[in-house]
Structure 1
C-alpha cells in the first residue's frame, strides 16, 4: 500500500469514526456521569471490537459474518440492553458531585469495556464499512502486514476521536458544581444512553 492509499483509508475512517452515533454519544455520556476513565473504558472496548472486525475482514468477512450472524445479533442486543438499563439507572440516580464521586468508590470499568466490545462486534455497519471500502482501497485480500498497518491507522484515528470527546465531556463535567446541575447532566446523559441503545437496536 502506498501513502496515497493509506491517507485515503485514514480520511474515510476518520469520517466514519467522528460521525455522530451511539458510540460517540455513549463515550460522552459515560464521561459526564462517571468520569474520563469510564469514557475511555468504553472507547477501549469499542476499538477492540473494531479491530476484531478488521481481522475478520482479512480472513473473509462475508463468510465469517454469515456464519456468526446470530452471535453478532445477540451481542448487539445485549450491548443495547445494557445501555438502556444504565441510562435508566443514571436518569433516576441521586445527584453526586464529581468531587464526591472521585473521593468515593469508583464504578467498575469492565462493564463499559465489554459493552463497547459487544456493540461493535455486533454493529451491522462495521462489516458493511469494510466490505465497501477495503476492496476499493487495498484490494480483495489483506496480508498480515497490511492488517497491522490499517490497525495502526485505526488506533491513531480513534485515539484522536475518543480523546477529543472525553476531553470535552470532562471539561463540562468539571463545571458541574451544584446538585441541580448534576441532576440535569445525569438526565441528559441517561437519555443519551437510552437513545443510543434504541438506535443500536433500530440499526439494520
Structure 2
C-alpha cells in the first residue's frame, strides 16, 4: 500500500472522526464530569469498536455486520440508555470541586470503555463507511499487513482527535473553582450526555 493511498484514507477518516457527533460530545462531557481518564476510557472503547468493524470489513463481512439488525440495535440502544442514565445522574449530582477528590478513584472507567465499544459496534454507519471508502481507496481485497497499516492510521487519527477533545475539556475543567461552577458544568455535561444518547437512537 503506497503512502498516497494511506494519506487519502487518513484524510477521509480524519474528517469522519473529527465531525461533531455523539462520540465526541460524550468524550468532552465525561472529561468535564470525571476527568481526562474517563474521556480517554470512552475513547478507547470507541476505537476498539471501530477496529473490530475494520477487521470485519477486511474479511468481507461488512455486509453481514450491516444485516445484523437486531444485535446492532440492542448494542446501540443499551449504550444510548447508559448515556441518558449517567447524564441524568450527573444533572442531579451534588457538586464536588475537582480539588476535593482526594481518593484518586476514577469512577466508571470500565463502563466508559464498554459504552464506547457498544455504541460503535452497534453503529450501522461504520460498516457503510468502510464499504463506501475501502473499495474506492484501497481496493476490494485487503491483506493482513494492509489491515495493520489501516488500523495504525485509525489509531493515530483517533489519538489526535480524542486527545484534542480531552485536552480542551480538561482545561475547561480546571476553571471549576466554585461549587456553583461545578454544578453548572455538571448540568451542561449531563445535558450533553442525554442529548448524545437521544441522538444515537434518533440518527441512524
Could you tell me the TM-score, scaled by structure 2's length? Answer: 0.97
Could you tell me the TM-score, scaled by structure 1's length? Answer: 0.97
1:45 positional shift: 0.2
Residues 1:16 and 2:47 aligned together: no
Is the 8 Å Cα contact of residues 66 and 127 (structure 2) preserved in structure 1? no
Q: Would the alpha carbon gap of residues 23 and 139 (structure 1) be closer, same or farther in structure 2, given more than 3 Å must change?
A: same
Q: How many residues align?
A: 204
| Alignment match, 2:50 | 50
1:13 positional shift: 0.3
Is the 8 Å Cα contact of residues 124 and 203 (structure 1) preserved in structure 2? no
Residue ranges of structure 2 left out of the alignment (5+ in a row): none
Residues 1:119 and 2:119 aligned together: yes
| Alignment match, 1:6 | 6
1:102 positional shift: 4.4
Deviations 1:96-153 (A, max 9, x none): 1011124464313100000000000001111111011000001112111110000000
Q: Which stretch of structure 1 is more off in the superposition, 69-78 or 144-153?
A: 69-78
Whole-Å Cα distance in 2 between the matches of residues 149 and 160 of structure 1?
17
Whole-Å Cα distance in 1 between the matches of residues 130 and 104 of structure 2?
43
Is the 8 Å Cα contact of residues 47 and 158 (structure 1) preserved in structure 2? yes
1:70 positional shift: 1.5
| Alignment match, 2:139 | 139
Q: Would the alpha carbon gap of residues 124 and 14 (structure 1) be closer, same or farther in structure 2, given more than 3 Å must change?
A: same
Whole-Å Cα distance in 2 between the matches of residues 107 and 178 of structure 1?
21
Whole-Å Cα distance in 2 between the matches of residues 21 and 98 of structure 1?
27
Q: Would the alpha carbon gap of residues 189 and 123 (structure 1) be closer, same or farther in structure 2, given more than 3 Å must change?
A: same
User: Where do 4+ consecutive residues of structure 1 move more than 4 Å?
Assistant: none
| Alignment match, 1:108 | 108
Whole-Å Cα distance in 2 between the matches of residues 36 and 160 of structure 1?
14
Residue ranges of structure 1 left out of the alignment (5+ in a row): none
Q: How does 1:114-193 map to 2 (within 5 A)?
A: 114-193=114-193
Q: Secondary structure at the match of 1:94?
A: coil
| Alignment match, 2:89 | 89
Whole-Å Cα distance in 1 between the matches of residues 155 and 49 of structure 2?
12
1:61 positional shift: 3.2
Is the 8 Å Cα contact of residues 61 and 127 (structure 1) preserved in structure 2? no
Q: What root-mean-square deviation, in Å, do the aligned CA atoms of Structure 1 and Structure 2 show?
A: 1.1
1:67 positional shift: 4.9
